[in-house]
Amino acid sequence: MGAGVVDKSGGGGGRRRRNGRGRTKPMSEINVTPFVDVMLVLLIIFMVAAPLLTVGVPVELPKTAANALPAEAEPPLTITILSDGRVLIQETETPREELVGKLRAIAAERSSDRVFLRADGAISYDVVMQVMGALNAGGFANIGLVTDIGGPSLDSDPG
């Protein structure tokens, strides 16, 4: 793969030069083809795997100028409210009347009370508050509202 040895003797099978110096010189060129092949394979793997790492429920999140929350050791529970009012725990649809009971069962198994609430921007404030009340009744007091970045800033200072 890497360096080799170049025969300076003129290529004749085993014959030496007249002056007796039939030394070989090390080849100083590096073959980069295997390196490029490995990099291209890794690039393709990452391009295919990257879209699969996101949560699979599509929601139009509202935009805000807030910064992202710091990560924790245990992944937080994610509650999603879709534009038609359906509620999902992680990726499983749950009727609203069963929401508090399921949240209590989940809270009993988890060490963290952190939960992320993702709500479609078209959903009414009333529905979001009802789900937040169910989260609180289910034992989750640490609720983070998920938004997209790049929204309008209400700060009058542009910097």
Q: Does residue 100 lie in a domain region?
A: yes
Q: What is the CATH number of the domain that holds 105?
A: 3.30.420.270
Is residue 108, in this structure, part of any structural domain at all?
Answer: yes
Decide if 91 is inside a domain: yes
Task: Report the pLDDT value the prediction gives residue 56, as an integer from 0 to 100.
Answer: 62
**What was the pLDDT predicted at 44?**
93
Overall average pLDDT of the 141-150 stretch: 81
**How far is it, in rounded angstroms, from Cα 48 to Cα 42?**
10
54 domain residue, yes or no: no
- Structural domain of residue 117, as residue ranges? 77-146
Instruction: Grade residue 1 by pLDDT with cuts at 50, 70 and 90.
Output: low
Query: 74, 111 in Cβ contact below 8 A?
Result: yes
- Amino acid in position 82: L
Number of domains present in the structure of the chain? 1
Q: How confident is residue 66, by pLDDT bands cut at 50, 70 and 90?
A: confident
Specify if 51 maps to a domain: no
Closest CA relative to residue 117, chosen from 157, 76, 155: 76
Q: Between 74 and 45, whose confidence is greater?
A: 45
pLDDT on residue 42: 94
Closest-CA residue to 106 (of 134, 146, 67, 65)? 134
For the chain, percent of residues with pLDDT exceeding 70: 75
pTM given for the model: 0.52
Residue 109: inside a domain, yes or no? yes
Question: How many contiguous H segments (helices) and E segments (strands) does the chain have?
Answer: 3, 9
Q: Within a 10 A sphere around the Cβ of 134, how many other Cβ atoms?
A: 21
Domain contains 121: yes
**Which residue did the predictor score with more confidence, 75 or 142?**
142
Q: Is residue 87 part of a domain?
A: yes
